[in-house]
Structures are given as structure tokens and as C-alpha cells.
Copies of this chain bind each other. A is one copy, B any other.
Amino acid sequence: MTEELNTGLLLYLPYRAMETRVFEELAAAGFDDITPSQARVFQRIAPEGSRLSDLARQAGITKQSAGFLIDQLERLGYVHRVPDPGDGRARLVRIAERGHRSVEASRAVVSRVEAEWETHLGARRMAQLRRILADLREITDPWR
């Protein structure tokens, strides 16, 4: 029976399922000291490094909260901070060695889950889903 679930909740369910899977399998792979909140910020770090304020804006939290989380990630060896060559006020948060390994591991989990979804939906509808979501992003992602 197709219940009348609103589209928001319909989006949330698979999102949550993905997040849960990634954390479970990441923990099993030895990255058991990272929390969902930390990961949501970590995920946004650009390859060349990001400023704290940018991360905060993108994650939708205050810069104080972002600073708190980045402090922890730094202590755990996932990131480090370097001075921003272009701006003396700022520092760049960059992914450290352990961070790169965790990225690699989580990428593998994501691929696995996406493959499962594709098996269930079929390749054509999976591609449609991604295309529609990417399109929707234009009006729902305030940051790019």
C-alpha cells in the first residue's frame, strides 16, 4: 500500500539507512572513534583544504560548533590545520593521512550500498534518481 508519506520523509529514510551503514562498517574497519556530527563536517572539506567558516556554513552549523568538531578530528588524526597563505586571519583545515584512509574506506561502503540500491531499483531508475536529485539540488542547496 502506497502510504501518503511526504517527500521529505521519503528522502530521509534512505539517507539515514546509508549513514547507518557507513558508520557501522567504518567502525568495524577500525574507524570507531568518529561520530556522525564530525563526519558531516569532515565530508565537506575540499581537496585543497577549507576554511572553518566555510565548513560551518556548508554544514549548516555555527563556526563555534564547527571549531569544536574540527578540534576533535585534529586530535584523532583525521585532519590538521595549516595557515592560509592568502589570508593571515584564516587557517586551512586539511585532510591528514588517517583522514585519507577513512575517506577511502567510506567510499567503498557507499559504493557497496549504492550497488545494492541499484540491484533493487534497476540501473535505469537508479540513474534517474541520481539525475533528479542532482537537479533538485539546484534549488535546495544554498551553497552551490
Contact = CB atoms under 8 A, between A and B. Distances in A.
Interface string A1-31: 0100111111111111111101000000000
B15 A133 contact: no
A13 B141 contact: yes
A29 to B, nearest CB: 17
* A20, A128, A133, A135 interface centre (most CB from chain B within 10 Å): A133
B114 A7 contact: yes
Interface residues of A, number: 42
A139 B116 contact: yes
Contacts of A140: 13-14, 16-18, 117
A82 interface: no
